[in-house]
Amino acid sequence: MKVSVALPVFNKAPYLKEALDSILAQTFRDFEIIAVDDKSTDESLAILRGIDDPRLKVVALDRNLGHPGATQVAIEQGTGEYIIRSDADDLCHPERFAKQVAYMDAHPEVGISGSGLQLFGTRSDVWRYPSDNATCQARLFFSPPVADGASIIRRSVLETHQLGFKPHWPRVGADWLLMLDLAAVTRFGNLDEVLLSYRRGPQNISARSQGMEGRREATRMGLQALGLEGTEEQVRHHLACSMYLPDKTPALVRAVFAWLQRLEQLNRSMGRSPDPIFRQETERIWKRLFYFLDQADRKTLWTYIRLNGGLSPDRLLYLLKVRLAPYRNGRRNEAK
């Protein structure tokens, strides 16, 4: 068997049939589907059992393990050379499996790869991911460089190094933790094309996550995997790099600036990614922070501007437009 599709299912009845149809319609045919029902309380299990296709194997759990735990069961039940991840509310494009398998066959040094996503549902953005290992390794310090639901993993890498989703991991951020483990033993990559339609809405695992407590715990574990202590302060600063901002103060801006510099030093000592590429990632995050501070008080903005060494003309123009917008709107309302 070339491919095992790991498909965790929890209360996805309205979307499940369409998702399965997109898998069964793949142009690549040498695959099995391991659908693990994670103790659903809707009709998901009945829908799975009602599909008559020899490629589909249904596993019904007697207790809810969460998305990572159900995925791990699917991985262990499969036999394929590659594990392709898919979620029960997303849609695989017809050529997805063929193109991802061809990429992995052509790049034996890559243990995990993915593709771009076309969002649909509540948003219609396109998300793309780095195509080269060096940028993926840099991105991994902050977030998964491969989309979990669009990933393909080489089974031999998991088995040789005894890797997988661990039971004690939080349900939020487990994909990042697994990729941090993988980064120590293999290379990453992504196809620069969209092969999955990713449904955004209230049914997403991210939308009904454990909240900030689970995210903080995953961040603590991730920092420890990178060789840091994972203190409360470090976790707070790292979450701020992902724009989880408890407040918008000069002290926070200075802390993020210093934290990014520390991560640059850590990467240099680990040799995960060349300095210029890693610096591009920290600059991307630092620049993104600016757009989350556009309504902050003057002291906070001035702290950012001073640490940044000024503002480029485009960001200065953006800031002026945002800060002047309430005054323009006020005059417009008065005119009415």
Contact 255, 113 (CB under 8 A): no
Q: Is residue 94 part of a domain?
A: yes
Provide the 8-state DSSP code for 119.
Answer: E
Question: How many domains does one find in the chain?
Answer: 2
pLDDT tens across 276-323, in order? Answer: 999 999 999 999 999 999 889 999 999 999 999 999 999 999 998 888
Q: Which residue has the higher pLDDT, 201 or 314?
A: 314
Same domain for 156 and 36: yes
Same domain for 10 and 115: yes
Same domain for 310 and 255: yes
Same domain for 147 and 287: no
pLDDT at site 88: 97
Same domain for 112 and 241: no
Same domain for 129 and 265: no
- State yes or no: pLDDT of 208 exceeds 50: no
Same domain for 159 and 67: yes
Q: Which residue has the higher pLDDT, 296 or 205?
A: 296
Task: Identify the band that residue 203 occupies on the pLDDT scale cut at 50, 70 and 90.
Answer: low
pLDDT tens across 115-164, in order? Answer: 999 999 766 799 999 999 999 999 999 999 999 999 999 999 999 999 99
pLDDT at site 246: 87
Q: Is residue 182 part of a domain?
A: yes
Q: Is residue 336 part of a domain?
A: no
Q: Is residue 208 part of a domain?
A: no
Same domain for 183 and 277: no
Q: Is residue 298 part of a domain?
A: yes
Same domain for 192 and 246: no
Q: CATH code at 24?
A: 3.90.550.10
Segments forming the whole domain that contains residue 286? 231-317
Same domain for 135 and 15: yes
Same domain for 306 and 181: no
